[in-house]
Amino acid sequence: MQPFAQLPAPVPASVAAPVLVAVGHGSRDPRARATLARLLDRVRELRPGLDVRLAHIELNAPLLDDTLAALAAEGREAVLVPLLLAPGHHVTHDLPAALAAVPGLRARVADPLGPHPLLVEALADRLAQAGWTPADSASRATGVVLASAGSRDPRSAATLRRIAAALGARLGGTPVVAAYASAAAPTVPEAVAALTARGHHRIAVASCFTAPGLFAARAAAHAPWIAADPLGAHPALARLVLHRYDLARTGRPTAPATPSRELAAI
């Protein structure tokens, strides 16, 4: 699929630039940390010289609390970029609380990754890698379930619905239903059943997860047809991480991340 987001031009980063702390949730799946490490390698390639560090809210080292304490001891400034797709308890509570526990650290929290056209680009490309074709976009038999972790925060569900709508438009008007692995409805099987009841018998599952884990595996297991891989180290996701960093740091990206018409689409 042709990308619809322009690659930001590499910008030399001085040692004084805020550290980009990419914050993952953490997972017992050993593939998760390695996947996020590869994603951050892509971020470093796009922004040579920028200090990019990975931290986790729980389960994996380095933990966010330890990373923030080390930055404070170094006298550094930081921007926390959540590797999460929508607002929820981790973004609105856990990250600000972690910063409040280190009062000597100058830092701010960027927006979560969604919604954004770069995210939709990555989702569509992962579906194509799983077997989705232009003919599927043109077929009235197809449908997509957009699977994510889920949250009790209503802003999270609203964000996922916007991402689903944008992905459906990207796929030529294919119906896309947001579904959740926990804390919200519908579940992936419920979304599959709803699409089936509407006459769609070729149903794919798009993985709105940044890395492999229990929820992503469960969602994929419910796919009646094809299931996309998690977003992982997709190039568009690396660009999006830098876009969120730049917006949090300066209020604007260093280079246009997307044409304005695509931004208006969501």
Average confidence (pLDDT) over 19-33: 92
* Over residues 37-48, mean pLDDT: 98
Query: What does the H/E/C string look like for 122-170?
Result: HHHHHHHHHCCCHHHHHCCCEEEEEEECCCCCHHHHHHHHHHHHHHHHH
Q: Of 72-86, 169-183, 207-221, 250-264, which range is least confident?
A: 250-264
Amino acid 262: pLDDT: 32
Phi-psi domain of 172 (left: phi exceeds 0; alpha: psi -120 through 50; beta: other): left
In the predicted model, is pLDDT for residue 61 greater than 90? no
Residue 254 has pLDDT above 60, yes or no: no
| The pLDDT of residue 93 | 86
Predicted confidence (pLDDT) at residue 4 exceeds the cutoff of 80: no
pLDDT band for 59, please (50, 70, 90 cuts). Answer: confident
Computed on alpha carbons and rounded to an integer, the radius of gyration of the chain in Å comes to 18
Q: Which of 263, 224, 216 is nearest to 29 (CA)?
A: 216
Beta strand 142-148 pairing with 202-207: parallel
Q: Do residues 144 and 176 lie in contact, with contact meaning Cβ atoms separated by under 8 Å?
A: yes
Question: Mean pLDDT, to the nearest integer, of 28-52?
Answer: 96
Coil vs helix vs strand at 74: helix
Q: Tell me: pLDDT of 13 over 80.
A: no
**Cβ atoms 13, 250 nearer than 8 A:** no
Q: How many CB atoms lie within 10 A of CB 159?
A: 23
What is the tens place of the pLDDT at every residue in 151-175? 888 899 999 999 999 999 999 999 9
Give the span between the Cα atoms of 9 and 47, in whole angstroms: 9
Model confidence at 28, in pLDDT bands (50, 70, 90)?
confident
Percent of the chain beyond pLDDT 70?
A: 89
What is the mean pLDDT of the segment spanning 246-262? 61
